Amino acid sequence: MAHRPGRVLVSRAEIAARVAELGRAIAREHGRETPLLVGVLKGAAIFMADLIRAIPVPIGIDFMGVASYGVGTRSSGAVRLTSDLSVSIEGRHVILVEDIVDTGRTVDYLRRNLETRDPKSLQVCTLLDKVERRQREVPLDYVGFAVPDRFVVGYGFDLGGLYRNLPDIHALEEG
Ligand code: IMP
Ligand code: MG
């Protein structure tokens, strides 16, 4: 069955407003710490680019790459590191920036991985939270939107590598 982007679940205006709030919240909590924001490639690249410009205090950025999905809409369950950080996080306040927490396996894996490198603190910021699908209990410090169990595309979210460039977040539809 073919799929296509259907109705808008979260509009670009709603995203922009919420990202501004998240940026202010991060600045309030970490204003004097120069936190390191770690974006999870590739999905969170778009969110990360908007989020960091909404944080009005000094920050650092870095990226990690993971692959957890095949070409379909269900996770393979196995998380694989495809690229690592370029800086040490020892003694840093780290905020992991994810596009979505679905089963929780990816964030659980990344959290455990990063904890072994002795950050001063480790928080998680995710744009979307698919609460119903959780299999691993993972603490989330900043959440953009809770969403229902629908596969989404746009604003960084892809299906088989496509649709990341759409400005809004759409539910995927058949047809
Ligand atoms: P988890 O490990 O099951 O929590 O899955 C997290 C990863 O699965 C996310 O970083 C996304 O890359 C991907 N993912 C989960 N749900 C969706 C979706 O609805 N659209 C696109 N990607 C998704
Ligand atoms: Mg992802």
Choose the catalytic residue: 50, 62, 99, 102: 102
**Ligand 1 pocket check for 95: Cβ under 6 Å:** no
**Ligand 1 pocket check for 101: Cβ under 6 Å:** yes
For residue 163, what pLDDT band results from cuts at 50, 70 and 90?
very high
Mean of the per-residue pLDDT values of the chain: 95
Which of 68, 124, 126, 137 most suits a substitution to test ligand 1, by most atoms within 8 Å of the C-beta? Answer: 68
Please, what is the end-to-end C-alpha distance for the chain in angstroms?
7
Q: In this predicted model, what pLDDT tens digit does every residue of 93-134 receive, in sequence order?
A: 999 999 999 999 999 999 999 999 999 999 999 999 999 999
Tokens of 92: 């840093």
**Amino acid at residue number 24:** R
Tokens 């690592």 belong to residue:
84
Q: In this predicted model, what pLDDT tens digit does every residue of 48-87 receive, in sequence order?
A: 999 999 999 999 999 999 987 555 666 667 888 999 999 9
Tell which phi-psi region holds residue 51, choosing left (phi > 0), alpha (psi between -120 and 50) or beta.
alpha
pLDDT of residue 175: 80
Q: Which ligand is nearest to the CA of 110?
A: 1
CA distance 138 to 80: 18
In this predicted structure, the answer to whether residue 37 has a pLDDT above a threshold of 60 is yes
